[in-house]
Amino acid sequence: MASASASGVPEAAEALRGHRILSSRLYLDDVPTSQVHSESYLNSLKSSKKVARIVEVPAVALLPNFLVQQKLLYPFRKHLNVGGSVLSAKLALERGWAINIGGGFHHCSAEEGSGFCAYADIALCIQFAFIRLNISRVMIIDLDAHQGNGHEKDFGNDGRVYTLDMYNSGIYPFEHVAKKYIDQKVELDSGTKTEDYLENLDKALKVAECRFQPQLIVYNAGTDILDGDPLGRLKVSPEDVAIRDEKVFRFAKDQNIPLLMLTSGGDFSHHSLIYCLDPVNQFALKLFQEKFLHELWLRATRVWSLAFLFQLVLAGHHLWRANLQRMPDDLVESPLLDVNPPTRARSVVQDSCRYAA
């Protein structure tokens, strides 16, 4: 392990380990503090008020911070967010593709959490790929309805990362500083319909293919582009969300590039996984039949009441119990499993919840 220096590099790695963001076995000592969470940012999460602002749930400010740490932030670090995305990056390289249903918190940067995103799992799993997986070129394809301002700020001046971001420019986060860091920006208007959406995507993928040759694709696949989503305000049908995902998978397959998919924002019960991956379908549906948890988080983003405090604790309990689950070996007959033949790809499915990012 590298020794501490004035550059702040080892300190960044120590902060990640000290705050239990990453396992002590994951030495990311070469990562500069500008690209991972600093000690000061991680310490700021010891304030429940700060966390309440990040997750946009005012009731969290009233909770003791130890409860916020245990029931809200710890599951995000371990299972729902950082841990799952890092593991999925490793699996994507090993097996062709992998999915972390809990990942894709693209509004969080090294120094600032927002939009329900407390940890920058995208930046961290890419740093992990750089340092531990011998990768030097990564393409982020961010098709969540919102701009991915977090990873854009983290990798703005990093030539190893190419960002294609297609988003609704009329909604949160209106992050003009981060926009200048996007390598390939496709801005959509509210109300954009399926046909236009897919046409824009086709054009964008063709341009991306010419401009950058990555060794790993990180696909942020938010479903808040769905028609009827109150936050995304686009009008893409569920069937065409599946087509969108297939286009990105084909894009990776045609170039033989490993793909890491993060499901990001939106309502998972309508996620394209349900339509695309029949074997995964049954498994995922089983996980997400816990409508109780789903409804709690639905209310969590909108309701401010004492009753909600009780609900929040229960939701945290469910999250705490969420465990990383691997797909059984026999679930390998999906139409998308020929992404990188002859590798027998399997996906990692992780329990998750609806969130508003």
Contact 353, 293 (CB under 8 A): yes
Whole-number Å distance between alpha carbons of 254 and 329: 25
**Which of the residues 19, 37, 79, 107 is marked catalytic?**
107
Among 146, 153, 235, 318, binds Zn ion (CB under 5 A): 146
Q: Which stretch binds Zn ion (CB under 5 A): 88-96, 138-146, 301-309, 339-347?
A: 138-146
The reply on whether position 107 binds Zn ion by CB under 5 A is no
Minimum separation from the CB atom of position 105 to Zn ion (A) = 10
Which residue in 121, 142, 144, 267 binds Zn ion (CB under 5 A)? 144
Cα(75)–Cα(235) distance, rounded to whole angstroms?
Answer: 32
Instruction: Tell me if 115 contacts Zn ion by CB under 5 A.
Output: no
Amino acid at 329: D
Stretch that binds Zn ion, among 18-26, 90-98, 223-231, 254-262 (CB under 5 A): 223-231
Of 7-15, 16-24, 209-217, 261-269: span binding Zn ion (CB under 5 A): 261-269
Neighbouring C-beta atoms of residue 291, cutoff 10 Å: 10
Minimum Å gap between C-beta 146 and Zn ion is: 4
**Rule CB under 5 A: which of 288-307 touch Zn ion?**
none
Q: Is 103 in the site for Zn ion (CB under 5 A)?
A: no
For 263, residues 6+ apart whose C-beta sits below 8 A from its C-beta are 99, 100, 101, 102, 103, 104, 221, 222, 223, 271, 273, 352
Rounded-to-integer distance, Cα 236 and Cα 143, Å: 12
- Which one of 96, 103, 156, 265 is in contact with Zn ion (CB under 5 A)? 265
Closest C-alpha among 121, 118, 138 to residue 87: 121
Rounded distance between C-alpha atoms, residue 58 and residue 63, angstroms: 10
Q: Is the dihedral of CA 103, 111, 14, 157 positive or negative?
A: positive
Choice from 142, 224, 240, 267 touching Zn ion (CB under 5 A): 224
Choose between 17 and 106: whose C-beta lies nearer to Zn ion.
106
**In whole angstroms, how close is the CB of 144 to Zn ion at the nearest point?**
4
Backbone angles phi, psi at 35, to 5 degrees: -120, -5
Number of residues near Zn ion (by CB under 5 A): 6
Angle (deg, nearest 10), helices 194-211 and 238-255: 10
Active site residue 79: no
Nearer Cβ to Zn ion, position 170 or 279? 170
| Segment near Zn ion (CB under 5 A); pick from 69-77, 140-148, 233-241, 296-304 | 140-148
Residue 83 binds Zn ion, judged by CB under 5 A: no
CB 272 within 8 A of CB 224: no
Closest approach, Cβ 265 to Zn ion, in A, equals: 3
Out of 113, 222, 258, 316, which residue is the one contacting Zn ion (CB under 5 A)? 222
CB of 149 to Zn ion, least distance (A): 11
Q: Where are the strands (E) in the chain, listed by range?
A: 97-100, 138-142, 161-168, 184-188, 216-220, 259-262, 324-326, 348-350
Which positions are catalytic? 107
The residue ranges that bind Zn ion (CB under 5 A) are: 144-146, 222, 224, 265
